[in-house]
Every structure is written in structure tokens, then in C-alpha cells.
A = this chain, B = another copy of it.
Amino acid sequence: MKKPKIVILGAGYGGLMTTVRLQKMVGMNEVDIVLVNKNEYHYETTWLHEASAGTLHHDRVRYNIADVIDRNKVDFVQDEAIEIKTDEKKVILANSEIEYDYLVVSLGAEPETFGIKGLKEYAFSITNVNSARQIREHIEYQFATYSNEAEKNEDRLTIVVGGAGFTGIEFVGELTNRIPELCREYDIDNDKVKIFCVEAAPMVLPGFDPELVNYAVAQLERKGVEFKIGTPIKECTPEGILVAKDENEVEEIKANTVVWAAGVRGNSIIEKSGFEAMRGRVKVEKDLRAPGFEDVFIIGDCALIINEEINRPYPPTAQIAIQQGEVCAHNLVALVRNKAELTLFKPDIKGTVCSLGEDDAIGVALGKKMVGTKAAFMKKMIDNRALYMIGGASLVMKKGKFKVL
């Protein structure tokens, strides 16, 4: 009898969690499991703001997939998914194609630029390891060049962060730690550096407790960040950004570094493959399958889950993706073993902590509001937990965040 073949696309939080749970639950000859990922490594998406600012080396933010999968049960294919042909039950990869009996789509997010002119061309985005280290190096090169040029271009020392949501704020927080280091490294006066955080919405960190948000804004302003809230970016240019000042007027903020951190969408392969979606996110069934498909699960950033209490989607987070991976693995085993009942996914939000740089953060965890070093400690625990869930204690020891490192 042919073994059922499970193909998992993407080794982010959701896909890798599905894989490691699955490999524990199935027998050696029960199923074929194939994990497809573009890189040979997994990276911590929620730590990329640190690699981008240069406060954490990018090798601390990634680990080899080979270190956490059981090669006796899982085949790893390093390739890029291009399109899913659901009618033929196969996936077109960049270098080959692969058939499946069951498919898990866990391909993560892409930056959403909302059609703003010039963003794709001139702004960086905190998307993956490659883009993170390019941002780090771009900023360093601007500082190095400033030191060496005869006529100083002050715009080299201005950084615009588009977006005051989670990623934008966390990145700005890291920058406030990194800038003094860079100024020492390149003999530059700290006061010459400007960081703008520009946000179209009228608030910082929507969804967070206002008391915590006020704390965050005050702390970051104290460290020199200038907030421009309720200020939509109209255009990004090689020289900086244009923002709406009032109805008819536009203001230019000159900056050699613009980092767009104001939104993500699901992977564009979703629409390309014919799934009904909103910005690349499919409103999945409670068992995490795509509507109308018995054999396709969609989890992580490409899945849309409604928070019924407020009738709005949950923001896609690592926490939810990991929980989905557990349910997805469980349901795959149930299908393979012809169990009638699938487990229904329900997010269990244990807390959310937003870092403001080393030693500072805000958040709610274990039902309590917290700020400062306590919240920063909790943030590290949350980061370590993601490692633990996927790779156990040994991965935490290798890649975990401890004060001494």
C-alpha cells in the first residue's frame, strides 16, 4: 500500500512546528513527510528587527532546519514554492515539482505596501535574514560614508521607520540602542542622528493598553525618536519620503534610510494558486483547512482567524502560528488514520510583549500589565519559548536569549 504523502511548504513557526510534532506522532513507515523551504535554515521572524538594527547578529536569529527535524521521518527539500495546483494535487517549485496527498501551506508573509509610490523601490523592509542584514549594512555604510565625505550630507544620519505597529516600534527601540554604538564606531556626534517613526493611523500600537502605549512613546521620545502620528506616507523617493501635512499640502522628510514596517500580507502564492483570500490570507475553517479543500491546511501568516469576541481578525503572530502547527499536526494524523473528528483551532493568547530595546518593553503577560526590565525579561522568555516549542532545551541553550550573551 502506498503511504500517504504530506507536504509542508515553509519552515517558519507554523510549518516547522507542524513538522516536529508530526515526526513525533507518526510511525516510521506510516507516512511520507516532505518539508520544503527556500533556505536550509529557519529564522525567528519576531527577532528580525534586532538583526536589522544590528543589535543581534543574524546568525543568532537563525538555525539549521537539519538540527530539529528527524531525517528518518522527514525529507527536507531546499526549494522555493511557486504555485499550488490543487486540482492536480501538486506544487510547482522553482527547480522541480512535488505531489501531495495532504498539503500544509505555511509560507509566511510579504510586505504590504498599499500601493504607495516608490516604497518597493526605495524603502527597505524587515522581511527575512537577507533583508535584515542589508538594512544593518545600509545604515552602517551611511554612517561610514558620512565620516569620510568632505561635504557632509546630514540625511545619511536620518532614519525613517514607516509604521508604529509592533514591528515598527520594536525596530525603533533597537535603533535607540544601536545609534550610540554606531556614533562611537564612526566618530559621529549623537545629536546629528534623527529617527522618525511615521504612522498613518492616529495612534501608536493599536490594540495595546493606552497606559502602556503612553509609556512606550515617552520612553522612545526620551531616547530621541520623533513620532509623526496620523501622518500617511504619500511617496517614497531616493531622498526620503513625502507625507501628507494637511489636505492639500505635502511635506518632505529627507532620509537616506527608509524602513517600511507598516504592514504585511499573506504570501502572494495564495492568490496565484486560486484560493479565495484577502491580502493573501485565507479565512480557514476551524480545523485549519482551506474552505472547500479536504487535503489543504493553511496556517500562519496566510491564515485568517476571526476573534469572535470583537469580530475582527487576530493579528498573525508567532504564538498563533505555533499553536496552529500543533493542531495541524494533530489533524493530519487524524486524517491519515481515518479518524472522523478533527481538532478545532482556538487561539490561546498567553500575552503580548512589545520590546523597546534592550532592558525595556511593555506588555501583558499572565494577565498582568508590565513595563521596563520586568517586561523585557518576559519578552526574552517568550522568545526562548518559541525555540523550546520547536527544538527543545538544546535549541534554547544554543540560540536562546540570556542576559550574558
User: Which positions in A face B, CB cutoff 8 Å?
Assistant: 130-131, 133-134, 136-138, 140-141, 143-145, 147-148, 185-187
Contact = CB atoms under 8 A, between A and B. Distances in A.
> How many copies of this protein are present in the complex?
2
Contact of A130 (B133, B137, B140, B147): B147
Nearest to A130: B148
20 contacts: A130-B147, A130-B148, A131-B148, A133-B144, A133-B147, A133-B186, A134-B145, A134-B147, A134-B148, A136-B144, A137-B137, A137-B140, A137-B143, A137-B144, A137-B145, A138-B141, A138-B144, A140-B140, A140-B141, A141-B141
Given A131-B148, A133-B185, 10 more contacts: A133-B148, A133-B186, A136-B144, A137-B137, A137-B143, A137-B144, A137-B145, A138-B144, A140-B140, A140-B141
A375 B185 CA distance: 32
A133 B137 CA distance: 12
Q: Which of A136, A138, A187 has the most CB of B within 10 A?
A: A187
A130 B143 CA distance: 10
Contacts of A147: 130, 133-134
Nearest to A39: B187
Nearest to A143: B137
A144 B131 CA distance: 8
A186 B131 CA distance: 11
A185 B136 CA distance: 13
Contacts of A133: 144, 147-148, 185-186
A187 B43 CA distance: 14
A183 to B, nearest CB: 13
Contacts of A145: 134, 137
A363 B131 CA distance: 44
